[in-house]
Amino acid sequence: MTNVGKSSLSKNVLQMKFMQRSALQIEKEKTEEEKQKVIDDEHWVLDLPETEQKECKYIIEGNIAHIENLQFGRFSFNGCNPEVEKLMKIHNTERELEEAAAREAQNSVNDQEMAQRYKSLSQTIAKKFAKKRKRAEIDESFDKESSHVTVDEETLKKGKKKSSKRKFLKPKDD
């Protein structure tokens, strides 16, 4: 607590009778310094409510190799450093697995999409091999499946089609 520039007197010298005034003065200075430090510490404390830290928008990466997609840091060729070559193989296999998983996730088709594609393909092939008169019926049957028509509506449509023959309809006069 004493200043580095001043040389301090030993404890025994300060206890001598003729040095009592100096000892009191030094003690007084020390207590004043401590009081001043306490006041300064208390003076600069702000009584503000704690605020929540906002989530950071940025990702801080310590290694530039991840950002730039750089290769493994150390290289070894023709068996010069077998330890480094083992590390390179491990690193490369991990990287290839990650890339393969990413490609698979990007190119994969879920079950619903696959079923929809298969259904449309089967419709197309059914139309191709059907006779001309049956093609219209195939189109209607696939439309019914896709639009989820109720049983009552189907029976009404079938009843109308079977009873009516194709004949000329006169245009209405407006």
pLDDT digits (tens, 9 = 90+) for 30-39: 999 998 887 7
78: alpha, beta or left? (left if phi > 0; alpha if psi -120 to 50): left
Do 30 and 1 meet the contact criterion of CB atoms below 8 Å apart?
A: yes
What crossing angle do the helices spanning 111-129 and 132-147 adopt, rounded to 10°? 160
User: What's the whole-model pTM score?
Assistant: 0.29
Tell which residue, 71, 70, 64, has the closest CA to residue 89.
Answer: 71
> How far is the C-alpha of 4 from the C-alpha of 11, rounded, in Å?
17
pLDDT band at 160 (very low <50, low <70, confident <90, very high): low
pLDDT digits (tens, 9 = 90+) for 138-158: 777 766 665 554 445 555 555
Residues near 91 by beta carbon (within 8 Å), at least 6 away in sequence: 72
Q: b/e for 138-156, b at 16 or more Cβ within 10 A?
A: eeeebeeeeeeeeeeeeee
| Structure tokens given for 78 | 């023709």
Dihedral over Cα of 150, 151, 153, 154: its sign = positive
pLDDT digits (tens, 9 = 90+) for 94-134: 889 999 998 888 887 788 888 888 888 888 888 788 887 77
